[in-house]
Amino acid sequence: MKLKIILSIAIISLFSCSTDKFNEKNQPEIFLDGIYYQIQKNTTTYLDPIIFLSQGDEEIFVYEEIADEIFQNYFWVIDGDTLRNYNTKIKGYGEKDVEFVVVDIYGDTQSASLTISIDDCVFFDRLCNN
């Protein structure tokens, strides 16, 4: 029991005295640059956000594997339905209203949106910027 108390005090003092490298001054800027989509012949549309972290001269592309570490929340809104995935896919023909929303660890929100028109005989790649 004494060991747990001592350990708890040590951890609390460590966090309260340490310099926070993720404070707002040192936080890299997040750029939600757009949405990449690819429509397959079977009308499955694959969606990926295009997000970069920038700090000084350095810029890195944000992959799904690190998104949970740097974002508080992210989700897609597709025709009014919310999907909580980083990469997603949709099926069907017609026009689809697509929006990707990302919230950083400080609560700042960015979004990118577009309308995708899916014909019955399509096969192409597109890069859509807002």
Quote the pLDDT of residue 24.
Answer: 53
Q: How far does CA 52 lie from the centroid of its chain?
A: 10
Residues 62, 87 contacting (CB under 8 angstroms): no
If one counts every other C-beta atom within 10 angstroms of the C-beta of residue 12, the result is: 10
Question: Whole-angstrom Cα distance, residue 102 to residue 111?
Answer: 6
Architecture of domain 22-129: Sandwich (2.60)
Residue 26 phi, psi dihedral angles, 5° rounding? -95, 0
Phi, psi for 113 (deg, rounded to 5): -140, 160
Decide if pLDDT at 105 tops 60. yes
Please tell me which of 32-36, 63-67, 109-113, 125-129 the model is most confident about, judged by mean pLDDT: 109-113
- Does the structure show a pLDDT above 70 at 6? no
Q: Percent of the chain at pLDDT above 70? A: 70
Cα–Cα distance, 97 to 112 (Å, whole number): 11
Q: What angle do CA 124, 116, 65 make, to 5 degrees?
A: 75
Q: What's the pLDDT at 15?
A: 38
